[in-house]
């Protein structure tokens, strides 16, 4: 099975997610957060650095729970803005 290459927008969204997770983690260790989410520290490292720009939904949900973030907040901060509407997520992502 051949995986379709990611678009530049998908890569950018993954980088935004990684930055958000790093910020939310703050002073907590990567190992502590990963264990709380039930994932490996290496998986968290890949997500935070953008090397895994499209993590599984349940991985993102587990990280959000471990970090005290809502999924709505993640979507709002990671989705690209709709043209002409600052702060509004792109309708194709939000739908």
For tokens 């939000």, name the residue.
94
Distances (CA, A) of 62 to 26, 47, 94: 17, 13, 20
pLDDT, one tens digit per residue, over 25-63 is 999 999 999 999 999 999 999 999 999 989 999 999 999
For position 65, what pLDDT does the model report?
A: 96
pLDDT, one tens digit per residue, over 3-22 is 889 899 889 999 999 999 99
- The whole-model pTM stands at 0.78
Write down the H helix ranges in 1-95. 8-25, 30-37, 41-49, 57-67, 71-78, 91-94
Distances (CA, A) of 17 to 1, 2, 73, 84: 27, 25, 11, 22
């Amino acid at each position: 099975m051949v995986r379709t290459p990611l678009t530049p927008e998908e890569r950018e969204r993954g980088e935004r997610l990684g930055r958000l997770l790093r910020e939310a983690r703050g002073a907590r260790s990567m190992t502590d957060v990963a264990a709380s989410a039930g994932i490996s520290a290496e998986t968290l490292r890949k997500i935070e650095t953008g090397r895994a720009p499209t993590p599984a939904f349940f991985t993102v949900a587990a990280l959000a729970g471990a970090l005290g973030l809502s999924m709505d907040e993640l979507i709002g901060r990671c989705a690209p803005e709709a043209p002409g509407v600052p702060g509004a997520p792109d309708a194709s992502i939000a739908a």
